[in-house]
């Protein structure tokens, strides 16, 4: 049985993760030389912690993981409430300070929200596949996502909240929700966005949007980071300025260069070719996740894989988009490349679940 699982597993996913992790470590090595490579060393530590976790998750049939997921879902809902009462870090109450490291419950919550929402969809569809389009049943299923999303917005962490929303939309699409609901949702978003801007968003969020539309409005304040990021990526040209030789990176103009703007470090020091390789590798990774959803042995496996694909898709598009000035800055890390213990471990767990599903896949089950 184990040989069959290993044979069925999509090893290409591990290759993609390995490429991204190596590029990320090289970038972190360069970006942290002024701090005695502190974050670089911690990233290696988190990778070492993640490896046995990945192996353990692959070894357990994901049906058992699904069974215990509601317990962890409840635990992380409690943590998302508790974290609101912590001291703000950079204006957000998103982390528990545990001394030598911090814990971000919103990152780990991604895992169990995706699984529990997949459970909710399959529960709704037990008797009728089309019942997911029933407004009342759809609302009840969506509550499993709405509760954590509202708590995360309260922190505030709009980027992570958007990752949940994108994953949810993709999962519903795979579940066969009627297209009119998608069109209605897009229309509602188009109507509510201006209202949110004028009446709901805090001042700093409005400033980010204004600066995104025109960074020159505040070149030494809110627009500083994106201007420096674009300068860094542009100066790297085709082959980059060389490791440890980037002007914006080494002279401290990029901030935070190990997390939000790690792609800028790569663009400046490794050049357009390596930056493009990262984009291609992410596209391959997301495509493989979608294929795993298509070939999963059951509905719940398909929905989970689709949700994971949505999370990686959003993080890739948002992080790279904000560093090149195409999207607003939201503080979303680049999976496997940016520094961050909670983020890295969460992403490895999501990959382990994907490998788990792929190792036990049988046939395509997309709803027609």
C-alpha–C-alpha distance, residues 211 and 223, integer Å: 6
What confidence score (pLDDT) does residue 55 get? 94
What confidence score (pLDDT) does residue 365 get? 41
Q: Could you tell me if residue 365 is inside a domain?
A: no
3-state helix, strand, coil in the chain (%, to 5): 75, 0, 25
Q: Could you tell me if residue 57 is inside a domain?
A: yes
Among residues 322, 353, 307, the alpha carbon closest in space to that of 117 is found at 307
Q: Could you tell me if residue 178 is inside a domain?
A: yes
DSSP letter assigned to residue 307 = H
Q: Could you tell me if residue 32 is inside a domain?
A: yes
Q: Could you tell me if residue 197 is inside a domain?
A: yes
Among residues 259, 272, 271, the alpha carbon closest in space to that of 336 is found at 259
Which residues form the domain of 19? Answer: 2-359
Average pLDDT per block of 10 residues along the chain, 368 residues long: 76 96 96 90 95 94 94 96 89 83 91 97 84 85 95 91 93 86 78 76 74 75 86 93 93 90 96 96 97 92 96 96 89 93 95 94 50
Buried residues in 291-319 as b, exposed as e (16+ CB within 10 A) = bbbbbbbbbbbbbbbbbbbbbbbbbbbbb
Retrieve residue 261's tokens: 């703007």
Q: What is the DSSP string of 164-213?
A: HHHHHHHHHHHHT--HHHHHHHHHHHHHHHHHHHHHTS-HHHHHHHHHHH
Q: Could you tell me if residue 366 is inside a domain?
A: no
pTM value > 0.85: yes
What confidence score (pLDDT) does residue 362 get? 65
Q: Could you tell me if residue 364 is inside a domain?
A: no
Q: Could you tell me if residue 255 is inside a domain?
A: yes
Overall domain count for the chain: 1
């Amino acid at each position: 049985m184990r040989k069959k699982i290993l044979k069925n597993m999509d090893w290409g996913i591990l290759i993609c993760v390995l490429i991204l992790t190596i590029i990320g470590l090289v970038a972190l090595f360069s970006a942290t030389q002024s701090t005695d490579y502190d974050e670089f060393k911690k990233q290696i530590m988190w990778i070492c912690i993640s490896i046995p976790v990945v192996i353990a998750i692959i070894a357990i049939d994901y049906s058992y993981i699904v069974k215990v997921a509601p317990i962890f879902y409840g635990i992380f809902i409690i943590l998302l409430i508790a974290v609101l009462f912590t001291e703000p870090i950079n204006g957000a109450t998103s982390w528990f300070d545990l001394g030598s490291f911090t814990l971000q419950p919103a990152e780990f919550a991604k895992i169990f929200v995706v699984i529990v929402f997949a459970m909710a969809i399959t529960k709704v569809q037990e008797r009728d596949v089309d019942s997911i389009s029933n407004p009342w049943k759809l609302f009840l299923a969506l509550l499993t996502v709405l509760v954590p999303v509202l708590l995360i917005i309260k922190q505030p962490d709009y980027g992570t909240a958007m990752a949940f929303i994108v994953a949810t939309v993709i999962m519903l699409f795979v579940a066969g929700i009627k297209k009119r609901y998608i069109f209605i949702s897009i229309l509602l978003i188009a109507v509510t966005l201006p209202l949110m801007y004028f009446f709901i968003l805090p001042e700093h969020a409005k400033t980010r949007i204004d600066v995104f539309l025109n960074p020159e409005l505040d070149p030494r304040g809110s627009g500083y980071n994106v201007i420096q990021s674009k300068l860094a990526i542009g100066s790297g040209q085709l082959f980059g300025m060389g490791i440890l030789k980037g002007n914006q990176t080494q002279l401290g103009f990029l901030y935070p260069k190990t997390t939000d703007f790690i792609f800028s470090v790569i663009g400046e020091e490794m050049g357009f070719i390596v930056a493009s390789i990262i984009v291609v590798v992410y596209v391959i990774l997301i495509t493989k996740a979608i294929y795993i959803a298509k070939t999963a042995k059951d509905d719940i496996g398909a929905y989970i894989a689709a949700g994971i694909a949505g999370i990686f898709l959003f993080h890739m598009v948002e992080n790279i988009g904000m560093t090149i000035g195409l999207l607003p800055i939201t503080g979303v890390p680049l999976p496997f490349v940016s520094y961050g213990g909670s983020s890295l471990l969460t992403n490895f767990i999501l990959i382990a679940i994907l490998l788990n599903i792929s190792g036990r896949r049988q046939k395509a089950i997309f709803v027609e």
